[in-house]
């Protein structure tokens, strides 16, 4: 009897957890935005702040224990004379990307927009005196690109942010901070961002991992504020955990869903829309010594593999201190765009296909079209375990030429004239 009672008690507690996790009910507008987000498949991340001036990456403040008062003096020389939001968006749109995620305030604490709640911002503290976010929002609206906002949950410069595992050597005097003050500051800024810059596709949080897991970030209330201000604005959090109640997308850093090569993932893959973020070179923020850019082939493969795992790719660029995007990055954007002009149909609006990812590649699917993306095949034939599907037609996507196929009880065997050599050899199957 005692054992049965304990089992019942455990089941009751577990059910309470389930109810707690499902208290958030997304609106119809939010659900529609989620679908559009999944359809878009490809976005560009832009990490830009005062750290670009030091050209040693976005974590340089904490990595080098720079005093926040000394660091703030960088603002006095921040004048990105070559910044042109229209040119940025034009280059990004040419890549085939459908949205931009921009760092409105990174861990350094500097706001890249005109905020009433801190003078430490691009308009009040710099000779540039222009609202970067406002100009970017206008350019995105004009060119039909969705705009998402990165927002840091931690701050290495504010005295009211309680010390976490990073930023302990930046000269702040009170390790306990003033959470009530800091939390209000964040919500005030989020209200500005969701009130003054038009429709925003998503708020992309980062920094939860800075505090112990027992720390109460008061996220449900913050998420509710976002959804109240803009019901269609999606909430994501780069906390490297399974999604929390109130979140609309699941984020993976430097890993595709289900993988954990970087050591930042490994969490359970949810049913929410998925997004993986990755750098074009090695760093997020601009680093003058980092010219190790991934090849166009590698970037295309990452985008295709993400789509095959039902995820978006958010690919990062760190703009230069003068306001320009690095020339190599712009070149990669153009080259990816050429590929997307031809093969975008096999990526946009698709979901992961009926055949799971393999070493040879992945599949994506849209309606009765199954796209077989062959990325690395050593043979002139490929077997697909499609025993429960009827293949009516098989063609090479790029020219619609027929592909020979043989149906067996276990699936379908595709046969090619030669071993596939294309960056992505796409076979289009019409299935029933």
> Which pLDDT tens digit goes with each residue over 214-235?
999 999 999 999 999 999 999 9
- Paired with 152 in beta bridges are 206
Question: Is residue 15 scored above 80 in pLDDT?
Answer: no
Residues 265-289: what's their mean pLDDT? 97
The helix (run of H) or strand (run of E) holding residue 85 is helix 85-94
pLDDT, position 2: 42
How much of the chain exceeds pLDDT 90, in percent?
95
Whether the predicted pLDDT of 4 surpasses 80: no
Q: Could you count the other beta carbons within 10 Å of the beta carbon of residue 359?
A: 8
What is the CATH number that goes with domain 361-430? 2.60.40.1180
Backbone angles phi, psi at 43, to 5 degrees: -135, 165
Average pLDDT, stretch 159-183? 98
CA–CA separation, 230 and 83 (whole Å) = 29
List the structure tokens of 215.
Answer: 């720390």
For the stretch 269-306, what's the b/e string if a residue is b when 16 or more beta carbons lie within 10 angstroms of its beta carbon? Answer: beebbbbbbbbbbebbbbbeebeebbebeebbbbbbbb
Prediction pTM value = 0.94
Average pLDDT over the chain, rounded to an integer: 95
Query: Tell me, what's the pLDDT at 317?
Result: 98
CB atoms within 10 A of CB 14: 10
Overall average pLDDT of the 129-150 stretch: 99
Write down the architecture of domain 28-349 according to CATH: Alpha-Beta Barrel (3.20)
pLDDT, tens digit, 9 for 90 and up, residues 404-420: 999 999 999 999 999 99
Please give the share of the chain, as a percent, with pLDDT higher than 70.
Answer: 95
Helix, strand, coil content of the chain in percent (nearest 5): 30, 20, 50
Q: Residue 110 contacts by C-beta under 8 Å, 6 or more apart in sequence?
A: 49, 50, 72, 75, 120, 121, 122, 125, 157
pLDDT digits (tens, 9 = 90+) for 304-341: 999 999 999 999 999 999 999 999 999 999 999 999 99
pLDDT score recorded for residue 22: 59
Is pLDDT above 60 for 10?
no
What per-residue confidence (pLDDT) applies to 70? 98
pLDDT confidence of residue 277:
98
Reported as a pLDDT band with limits 50, 70 and 90, residue 151 is: very high
- pLDDT category at 424 given cuts 50, 70, 90 is very high
Mean pLDDT of 267-290: 98
Q: Is the pLDDT of residue 421 over 70?
A: yes
From residue 242, give the alpha-carbon distance in Å to each of 26, 94, 254: 18, 34, 16
Rounded Cα distance between 425 and 81, Å, is 43
Question: Which are the contacts of 102, defined by CB distance < 8 A and separation ≥ 6?
Answer: 46, 48, 112, 133, 136, 147, 148, 149, 150
Domain ranges of the chain: 28-349, 361-430
Residue 76 sits at the vertex; the CA angle it makes with 75 and 77, to the nearest 5 degrees, is: 90
230/234 Cα distance (integer angstroms):
9
- Whether 38 shows a pLDDT value over 90: the answer reads yes
State yes or no: pLDDT of 288 exceeds 80: yes
Residue 18 has pLDDT above 60, yes or no: no
């Amino acid at each position: 009897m005692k054992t049965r009672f304990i089992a019942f008690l455990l089941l009751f507690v577990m059910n309470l957890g389930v109810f707690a996790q499902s208290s958030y009910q997304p609106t119809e507008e939010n659900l529609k935005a989620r679908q559009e987000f999944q359809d878009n498949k490809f976005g560009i991340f832009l990490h830009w702040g005062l750290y670009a001036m030091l050209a040693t990456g976005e974590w340089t403040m904490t990595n080098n224990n720079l005093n926040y008062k000394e660091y703030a003096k960088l603002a006095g020389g921040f004048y990105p004379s070559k910044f042109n939001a229209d040119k940025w968006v034009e280059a990004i749109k040419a890549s085939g990307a459908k949205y931009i995620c921009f760092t409105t305030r990174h861990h350094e604490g500097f706001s890249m927009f005109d905020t009433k709640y801190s003078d430490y911002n691009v308009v009040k503290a710099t000779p540039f005196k222009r609202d970067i976010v406002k100009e970017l929002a206008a350019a995105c609206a004009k060119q039909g690109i969705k705009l998402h906002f990165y927002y840091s949950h931690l701050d290495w410069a504010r005295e009211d942010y309680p010390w976490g595992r990073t930023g302990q050597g930046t000269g702040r005097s009170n390790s306990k901070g003033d959470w009530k003050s800091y939390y209000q500051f964040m919500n005030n800024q989020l209200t500005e961002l969701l009130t003054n810059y038009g429709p925003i596709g998503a708020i992309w949080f980062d920094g939860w991992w800075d505090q112990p897991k027992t720390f109460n970030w008061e996220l449900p209330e913050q998420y509710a504020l976002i959804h109240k201000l803009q019901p269609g604005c999606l909430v994501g959090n780069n906390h490297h955990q399974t999604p929390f109640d109130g979140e609309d997308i699941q984020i993976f850093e430097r890993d595709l869903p289900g993988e954990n090569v970087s050591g930042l993932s490994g969490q359970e893959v949810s049913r929410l829309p998925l997004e993986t973020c990755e750098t074009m070179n090695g760093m997020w923020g601009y680093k003058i010594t980092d010219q190790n850019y991934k090849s166009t082939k590698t970037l295309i493969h990452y985008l295709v593999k993400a789509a095959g795992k039902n995820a978006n790719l958010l690919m990062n660029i760190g703009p230069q201190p003068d306001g320009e995007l690095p020339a190599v990055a712009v070149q990669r954007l153009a080259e990816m765009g050429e590929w997307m002009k031809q093969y975008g149909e096999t990526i946009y609006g698709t979901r992961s296909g009926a055949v799971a990812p393999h070493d040879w590649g992945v599949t994506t699917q849209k309606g009765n079209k199954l796209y077989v993306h062959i990325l690395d095949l050593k043979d002139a034939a490929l077997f697909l375990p499609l025993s429960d599907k009827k293949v009516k037609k098989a063609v090479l996507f790029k020219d619609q030429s027929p592909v020979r196929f043989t149906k067996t009880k276990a699936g379908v065997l595709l046969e090619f004239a030669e071993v596939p050599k294309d960056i992505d050899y796409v076979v289009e199957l019409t299935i029933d």
